[in-house]
Amino acid sequence: MTEQLIEALLDGDHRALARTITKIENRSPGYRDLVSELHAHTGHADVIGITGSPGAGKSTLVDKLAKAYRDQDLTVGVIAIDPSSPFTGGAVLGDRIRMASNVGDMDVFFRSMSARGTLGGLSTATTDAVKALDAFGKDKILVETVGAGQNEIDIVRTADTVTVLVPPGSGDDVQMLKAGILEIADLFVVNKADLPGSDRTVQELREMLGMRDRETRGHHGVGTPGMNDAVERNDGDWTPPIVETVANDGTGVDDLLDALADHRDHLESSGQLEARTRSRYAAEIRQLLREDANALLAEELDARGGLDAFVQQVLDRESDPYSVADELVAPIEECVRERRND
Amino acid sequence: MSADEAQRTIRCLVAKVGLDGHDRGAHVIARAFRDAGFEVVYSGLHRSPDEIVQAAVQEDVDVLGISILSGAHNTLVPKVIDGLAEYGALEDTLLIVGGIVPEEDREDLREMGVAEVFGPGASMKEMIAYVREHAPER
């Protein structure tokens, strides 16, 4: 089943690609094998992330970018993520409505995704879905995040180039000092540049960029090192350009294309592309390790009669959380050490 | 392993096809499906049958709900069905039609492959229950 699906996908079957992404999203049995198999065929696509606040014009801009790449005879994959309901898990996925320029063009593969409860602006399945599009042979993959505010920065774990849309009137210069989404931009787009206040927004972004201390930036990635998912972004030689666009009528899209191409060249010539890819894979492995270790522990916990009994012991002061953790992990630790010494 | 367990969510495409500008019903249904825990892709207005097929295939939806109030169902629905068949997507997509469809046309639509037709007065509860029960096993 998996083999057939992979074969059909590599053969250019749209439905196989769609079904593969569904399996990844649903974490259907066998999806891990599927993604493992796909990996060997990936590494060719240029992955561009588009993020910004709700209504900033992400979908419309993605539509225009997709069209522009198609005009260059490149194939395009799009993944657009919308939020899911915290109550029912349901979602209305409305990004597709904006894809007016690519109607009937099957070489733009557009897939809507629900965040399925994830809060970082992507779904947990997004990275793997990007792999499916990459293996399928898409030249450009555009990933549009959930409408993001200040802290939804998961896109750095998936995209080679992160584009942050800032609508005019996004707040004063203090907003620009804040950590988070503005730090992850490889380029800024001030969309709706025909609206009043856009000059000022451009000016404030420019001032913010001027204040960046390249020395310190050179040594820090996003977050802190260690067993977390921090992604290295120490790119001191690149100053994010600010592009003004009006996505609705296509104004500035050519400038954006140039800026994206410049960044791609920079990534390749500076060795950053490899560095970023490395750090992304490292983060991915760490995350999988954590998930798998968690699953293993959950299994062990079930086998020992579930968590409730331990909670009761803690409540009755017969045990404490640390001892319980030690007790549960000890047999696993023992096994691992024994195997390692063999 | 527990992480592999089905987190299956029913995916629907709610589609407006042809020259039909009435989408209040489609919006209400999209919202009701969302509240039922489905993932709903909404097509937007005035889509051609080809666009609907493209969306249904790429989004890999379990359910395709076509809303037609223009009376053109006998022309548009077969085109969608042919398109789905071309991509091998007809068999495992639950196809339902909603809107104004005269009684005498319903049987024809069913024969073509439409699973059910919902007219005015159909309750949300009924439709959601129908979708839950008939969403294809994959």
User: Is A170 or B111 the better-scoring residue by pLDDT?
Assistant: B111
Pairs of residues, one from chain A and one from chain B, whose beta carbons lie less than 8 Å apart: 103
Distance CA(A243)–CA(A254), nearest Å, equals 10
Helix (H, G, I), strand (E, B) or coil at B75: helix
pLDDT at A219: 40
Local mean pLDDT, 10-residue blocks, chain A (342 residues): 91 95 92 94 95 90 96 96 89 87 88 85 88 97 86 83 88 65 88 91 87 53 46 72 94 96 95 91 89 90 91 95 93 91 79
Please state the rounded mean pLDDT for residues B40-50.
92
Q: Is residue B3 one of the residues assigned to a domain?
A: no
**A14–B59 C-beta distance less than 8 A:** no
For residue B27, the chain A residues in CB contact (below 8 A) are none
Please state the rounded mean pLDDT for residues B119-136.
92
Residue A114 CB burial class (10 angstroms; 0-12, 13-18, ≥19): buried
Query: What's the CA angle centered on B118, arms B112 and B122, to 5 degrees?
Result: 165
pLDDT at A31: 92
DSSP states of A186-218 as a string? SEEEE-STTSTTHHHHHHHHHHHHHH--HHHHT
What is the distance in angstroms between the Cα of B9 and the nearest Cα belonging to chain A?
7
Q: Is residue B2 one of the residues assigned to a domain?
A: no
CATH of the domain at B51: 3.40.50.280
What ipTM was estimated for this complex?
0.87
Reply yes or no on whether the pLDDT at B18 is more than 90.
Answer: no
Distance CA(A293)–CA(A179), nearest Å, equals 32
- Structure-block tokens of residue A237: 């030689």
For residue B2, give every residue at least 6 positions away whose Cβ sits within 8 Å of its Cβ, in sequence order, or none. Answer: A295, A298, A299
Q: Is residue B1 one of the residues assigned to a domain?
A: no
- Of A14-28, B2-16, B122-136, the range with the lowest mean pLDDT is B2-16
Query: Tens digit of pLDDT for each residue in B85-103?
Result: 999 999 999 999 999 999 9
Only one residue has tokens 């915290």, namely A86
**Residues A70-79: b if buried by 16+ CB within 10 A, e if exposed:** beeeebbbbb
A200 — contact with chain B (CB < 8 Å)? no
Which of A19, A97, A299 has the CB atom closest to B60's CB atom? A19
Confidence of residue B66 (pLDDT cuts 50, 70, 90): very high
pLDDT at A233: 62
For residue A90, the chain B residues in CB contact (below 8 A) are 33-40
For residue A147, give every residue at least 6 positions away whose Cβ sits within 8 Å of its Cβ, in sequence order, or none. Answer: A52, A53, A54, A55, A56, A58, A83
Please state the rounded mean pLDDT for residues B9-25.
91
Distance CA(A109)–CA(A96), nearest Å, equals 11
Cβ(A99)–Cβ(A110) below 8 Å: yes
Q: How many domains does chain B have?
A: 1
**B40–A96 C-beta distance less than 8 A:** no
Please state the rounded mean pLDDT for residues B37-61.
94
pLDDT at B7: 53
Confidence of residue B2 (pLDDT cuts 50, 70, 90): very low
For residue A291, the chain B residues in CB contact (below 8 A) are 3
Distance CA(A314)–CA(A317), nearest Å, equals 5
Q: Is residue B35 one of the residues assigned to a domain?
A: yes
Distance CA(A147)–CA(A57), nearest Å, equals 10
Which of B37, B60, B89 has the CB atom closest to A22's CB atom? B60
pLDDT at A9: 95
For residue A183, give every residue at least 6 positions away whose Cβ sits within 8 Å of its Cβ, in sequence order, or none. Answer: A153, A222
* Domain ranges for chain A: 1-41, 42-273, 304-341
Q: Is residue B108 one of the residues assigned to a domain?
A: yes
A212 — contact with chain B (CB < 8 Å)? no
Q: Which amino acid is at A86?
A: P
DSSP states of A36-58 as a string? HHHHTT-S-SEEEEEEESTTSSH
- CATH number, domain A42-273: 3.40.50.300
Reply yes or no on whether the pLDDT at B59 is more than 70.
Answer: yes
Beta strands in A33-166 (DSSP E): 46-52, 76-82, 91-93, 108-114, 140-144, 161-165
B50 — contact with chain A (CB < 8 Å)? yes
